[in-house]
Amino acid sequence: MSAPGTIWGVGLGPGDPDLLSVKADRLLRGARHVAFFRKAGRQGQARRIVEGMLRADVTEIAMEYPVTTEIPLTDPRYNEILSAFYQTCTDRLCALSRAGEDVVIVCEGDPFFYGSFMHLHSRLRDHRPVQVVPAITGMSAAWTATDAPITWGDDILSTLMGTLPEDTLVEHMKRADALVIMKIGRNIEKIRRALRRAGRYDAAWLVEYASMPNQTVQRLSEAEDKITPYFSIIIVHGQGRRP
């Protein structure tokens, strides 16, 4: 029997292929099987990042979400449908590993930072060999795009999801020195209200497509009429102790 294949969760970073780690680049270019998540009918951001980097005979495994925003997160069916989806993906990856094949799962940002790979990892780690390659996060690219440090001295940084209830957002916005707000999309107006209530609105920056060719950086107050895409992050810089 052949030795089991390793399933790799490889972080691609925020979007610029030049920001991949050397290890990630090596694994990608040598992979016989490359898996990635995407919305049905789309190429997928992870697959777009690795365009031109894969070997000619690679087998691509597109893992297409059965739902994204069609069902509210609070609907019990949401978890049921996604749980079945992740199990189906896991079964396919396990079959390849049992056959002695390595698989590289490419992940936007870092695999262990609010990504879909985590749901595979929890199902795989006790059954198959799994390795994770960390990467630069999208939020790191976003605050770098503002050309200012995100934290100084003893600043406390909070990372918030725009999907949180407005009152919860306000509470954490008031408590933290520096803020990173992700998953903006259709939550933008709620986030704006929360920032105003917390007294942080005028200090907020909107970064779209951080590190990608179409990157934009502007104060959130100057983007009142914009519909922000999914790949947007709001940054509020800390102003803490410095020499």
Per-residue pLDDT of 128-181, as tens digits, reads 999 999 999 999 999 999 999 999 999 999 999 999 999 999 999 999 999 999
Q: What is the pTM of this model?
A: 0.90
| CA–CA distance, 223 with 221 (Å, rounded to integer) | 6
On the question of pLDDT at 78 being above 70, the answer is yes
CB atoms within 10 A of CB 8: 25
Tens-digit pLDDT profile for residues 89-104: 999 999 999 999 999 9
The domains located in the chain, with CATH, are 7-136 (3.40.1010.10), 139-236 (3.30.950.10)
On the question of pLDDT at 230 being above 90, the answer is no
Q: Residue 157 has what pLDDT?
A: 98
Tens-digit pLDDT profile for residues 25-65: 999 999 999 999 999 888 899 999 999 999 999 999 999 99
Weakest-pLDDT range from 19-28, 181-190, 224-233: 224-233
- Grade residue 5 by pLDDT with cuts at 50, 70 and 90: very high
Question: Could you tell me the sign of the dihedral formed by the alpha carbons of 109, 113, 115, 120, in that order?
Answer: positive
The distance in angstroms from the start CA to the end CA of the chain is 62
Buried (b) or exposed (e) across 159-172, using 16+ Cβ within 10 A? bbebebeeeebbeb
- Grade residue 228 by pLDDT with cuts at 50, 70 and 90: confident
Which pairing describes strands 130-133 and 204-208: parallel, antiparallel, or unpaired?
Answer: unpaired
On the question of pLDDT at 114 being above 70, the answer is yes
Q: Residue 1 has what pLDDT?
A: 60
| CA–CA distance, 79 with 72 (Å, rounded to integer) | 10
25: its two tokens? 């680049």
Percent of the chain at pLDDT exceeding 90: 84
